[in-house]
Chain A
Amino acid sequence: MRYDSLVSSVGRTPLVGLPRLSPSADVRLWAKLEQDNPTGSIKDRAALWMVQDAEKRGVLSPGAMVLEPTSGNTGISLAMVCRQRGYRLTCVMPENTSIERRQLLAMWGAEIIFSAAAGGSNEAVAVAKRLAAEHPDWVMLYQYGNPANAQAHYETTGPEILEDLPSITHFVAGLGTTGTLMGTGRYLRERVPGITVVAAEPRYGELVYGLRNIDEGFVPELYDPAVLTSRYSVGPKEALRRTRELVAEEGIFAGISTGAILHAALAQADRAVKEGKRADIAFIVCDGGWKYLSTGAYAGTLEEAEAALEGQLWA
């Protein structure tokens, strides 16, 4: 495939079958390989759409400072897109994120402001909102509430999956900003009657939920529960076990959040088998495992790997 530039190559990722992890010929799992995007994650889609949308609205001019709260991947994608287009980028990132994410952000030229580990991304969002108020000339794209985030998936991820898998019965993805599930889920719901849309939400260690009070909680503005059929919380042990199964059985080297998604997808497959129903279950591989090697996720026993993830934002 030939493209005019790197950003033109975002999307059109492969959908690959999982012959060993699929329970039967009637109940099949399909992995959407988002690590094939330019910076190695699904967030390239949202980053590109949010920047293009801001350009169309006329809020971004050459040399502008873009600001974004991010636990990593969105920042990395934005850093690549912003550098290509001549914008500067400041990311607010929780300090309990992997070293590779910081290195990648710095490599693509982003400034990083760290927020406290306790409270996880909630704290990053709060810090970014304060900075935005102090610097009215900065442009916060705000992935949690920017409709262009979900729109990227409505216009690309959804159509790509349906084109490759017209017989789809289930779509399973991770729940962070909710952009992937809202955009892809809406597109599929409009075209596939009865489709099951499932969210897999990472369950972190206690530190991440260390809010001072419940009212500091956060629900992304993009979130509409009506798009979902069900939503599961997946802890680090299951996520790690499935991440390792995916590489051992199918050769797919994915990040840890993908393990959580696969766990939820396999539960749907199990249910279909028990009910004697046909199922084609598509799930998202958010990114490759490279950025998480330093966490110890892929080495040693599962217990050691789980202990190493305690307090980390692993998705």
Chain B
Amino acid sequence: MAVKVRVPTILRTHTGGSKLVEGTGDTLGALFVDLDTRHEGLRGRLVSGEGAGELHRFVNVYINDEDVRFLGGLDAKLSDGDEVTILPAVAGG
């Protein structure tokens, strides 16, 4: 079950400079755990708190362009071929 993950510039220190990486997992939380085995420290930048934790306040994550906070957050379900995009929160207006 492969999922493509787009990584923002600010987090590419964990991916050897790669903007696109692949991972697996039934949920977003599981995907981050999987990514962390190859991209050490990445999960710690995305998830805060003890145990399963929760998404960092200033990180936005999208599954196929939909904000995961409206899909269950770290419990959001993933399917084969999904695209995950990670972005820092920025202002509009």
| Chain A residues engaging chain B, CB cutoff 8 angstroms | 69-71, 73-74, 119-122, 124-125, 143-144, 174-177, 179, 199, 201-204, 206, 208-220, 225, 228-235, 315
Q: In the complex, A125 Cα to B93 Cα: how many Å?
A: 10
Contact B10 A121 (CB under 8 A): no
Q: Which listed residue (B10, B56, B85) contacts A210, Cβ 8 A?
A: B10
Closest B residue, CB atoms, query A176: B92
Q: Taking the complex as formed, is B82 at the interface, i.e. its CB lies under 8 A from any CB of chain A? A: no
Say whether, besides A120-B91, A203-B87, A217-B89, A233 and B65 are in contact (CB < 8 Å).
yes
Which one of A209, A214, A225, A229 has the highest number of Cβ atoms from chain B below 10 Å of its Cβ?
A214
Q: In the complex, A71 Cα to B90 Cα: how many Å?
A: 12
Contact A219 B58 (CB under 8 A): yes
User: Which residues of chain B have C-beta atoms less than 8 A from A213's C-beta?
Assistant: 10
Measured CB to CB, the closest approach of chain B to A124, in angstroms, equals 8
Q: In the complex, A204 Cα to B8 Cα: how many Å?
A: 12
Contact A228 B70 (CB under 8 A): yes
Q: Taking the complex as formed, is B62 at the interface, i.e. its CB lies under 8 A from any CB of chain A? A: yes
Sampled A-B contacts (15; CB under 8 Å): A71-B92, A121-B91, A201-B67, A203-B65, A206-B9, A209-B10, A217-B57, A217-B58, A218-B90, A225-B70, A230-B67, A231-B70, A233-B60, A233-B65, A233-B85
Measured CB to CB, the closest approach of chain B to A173, in angstroms, equals 12
Measured CB to CB, the closest approach of chain A to B58, in angstroms, equals 3
Measured CB to CB, the closest approach of chain A to B42, in angstroms, equals 12
Say whether, besides A209-B87, A233-B67, A214 and B10 are in contact (CB < 8 Å).
yes
User: Which residues of chain A have C-beta atoms less than 8 A from B88's C-beta?
Assistant: 209, 211, 214, 216-217
User: Which residues of chain A have C-beta atoms less than 8 A from B40's C-beta?
Assistant: none
Q: In the complex, A69 Cα to B90 Cα: how many Å?
A: 13
Q: In the complex, A177 Cα to B92 Cα: how many Å?
A: 6
Which one of B11, B62, B91 has the highest number of Cβ atoms from chain A below 10 Å of its Cβ?
B91
| Size category, B interface | 20 to 34
Contact A176 B91 (CB under 8 A): yes
Contact A177 B93 (CB under 8 A): yes
Contact A121 B70 (CB under 8 A): no
Closest B residue, CB atoms, query A219: B89
Residues facing A in B44-87 (CB within 8 A) are 45, 56-60, 62, 65-67, 69-70, 85, 87
Contact A122 B62 (CB under 8 A): no
Contact B67 A74 (CB under 8 A): no
Q: In the complex, A232 Cα to B1 Cα: how many Å?
A: 24
Q: A144-B91, A176-B91, A232-B67 are in contact. List 11 more A-B contacts (CB 8 A).
A: A69-B91, A70-B93, A124-B91, A143-B93, A210-B10, A217-B58, A218-B58, A218-B89, A219-B89, A231-B67, A231-B70
Q: In the complex, A229 Cα to B69 Cα: how many Å?
A: 10
Q: Which listed residue (B65, B66, B91) contacts A220, Cβ 8 A?
A: B91
Q: In the complex, A315 Cα to B8 Cα: how many Å?
A: 20
The list of the 6 closest CB pairs from A to B, nearest first, reads A217-B58, A176-B92, A121-B91, A231-B67, A176-B93, A177-B93
Measured CB to CB, the closest approach of chain B to A284, in angstroms, equals 13
Measured CB to CB, the closest approach of chain B to A268, in angstroms, equals 12
Contact A217 B92 (CB under 8 A): no
Say whether, besides A213-B10, A214-B10, A233-B85, A120 and B90 are in contact (CB < 8 Å).
yes
Contact A201 B92 (CB under 8 A): yes
Contact A214 B59 (CB under 8 A): yes
Q: In the complex, A143 Cα to B93 Cα: how many Å?
A: 8
User: Which residues of chain A have C-beta atoms less than 8 A from B65's C-beta?
Assistant: 203, 232-235
Closest A residue, CB atoms, query B85: A233
Measured CB to CB, the closest approach of chain A to B36, in angstroms, equals 16
